[in-house]
Chain A
Amino acid sequence: MPRANTREKEAYRKLSIKASPPRSVLRNAVVAFLVGGAICLVGQIVLSWISSTGIGRVQALSRTQTIMVFLGAFFTGLGLYDKLGGVAGMGAAIPITGFANSIVSPAMEFKREGFVLGVSARMFQVAGPVIVYSFIASLLVSSAALILAR
């Protein structure tokens, strides 16, 4: 088999760069900023609306998080959130709506394996690790604060 000459190699390299998707770190960060910011803006509208009923600050924040979880789960069900995730990456994954997406998406996918080992077991494929490590980290941080406060 004849070996490709330098010119052919160069042409192939240029073509492969053109054909592969653009992976600019800056561009991805800007998209994540815009989408993540927009989701948080929706969250803020919900928070301001709940706060206007005169409820306490902590309760208002917790209700906002719950409503955002509902919205994330709902739009994942409609098939829209996964599309957003493909475009925005962490801009869709980091808000708590992305946490809900990480629950509904695999649960729907594995429905054919049944409702126990399919849906309910797969729900926590990503959310499970998030819960496990955030509880361990929080317990360590709070223990440290408790010890230092003595």
Chain B
Amino acid sequence: MIYIRAFIVGGILCALAQVVLDSTKVNPAVIMVSAACTGAILSGLGLYGTLVSYAGAGAAVPLFGFGHTLVQGMMEDVAKEGWFGLFTGGFRASSAALTGAVVFGYLMAVLFNPKG
């Protein structure tokens, strides 16, 4: 069942990040950066694509999936137009998420005020 696999894989990725945070005491922002970079490396090794087909959103929703999206986009564009694809694929593949982050992020920050 894809829903159970998404829950378990997504949960494990978050729990791993939590264990690293608790045992190293680094800044949470550093963990978020490392997660995206780890996703890129795992994607290059061909492992993260397999995890996405196995767990769906369980692998695509955590930040690890962001790195995977970038690598996937770069590889696709490299296959199409050669090395220059390295400069086009990343933003192309992540365009929807990044545009959403800019537009919705700005909108919500303007509409709402901090609580408490």
Contacts and interface: CB of A to CB of B under 8 A. Distances in A.
Interface of A: 23, 25, 28-41, 43-48, 58, 61-66, 68-70, 73-74, 76-79, 88-91, 93-100, 102-104, 107-109, 111, 115, 119-120, 123, 126-127, 129-131, 133-135, 137-139, 141-146
Chain A interface, >50% SS class: helix
B108 A77 contact: yes
B55 to A, nearest CB: 8
Contacts of B83: 146
A55 B37 CA distance: 28
A37 B11 contact: yes
A43 B63 CA distance: 13
Contacts of B100: 65-66, 69-70, 100
Please list the 4 inter-chain residue pairs (A to B) with the smallest Cβ-Cβ separation, ordered nearest first: A40-B10, A36-B14, A37-B11, A79-B115
Contacts of A95: 10, 14, 61-63
B109 A69 contact: no
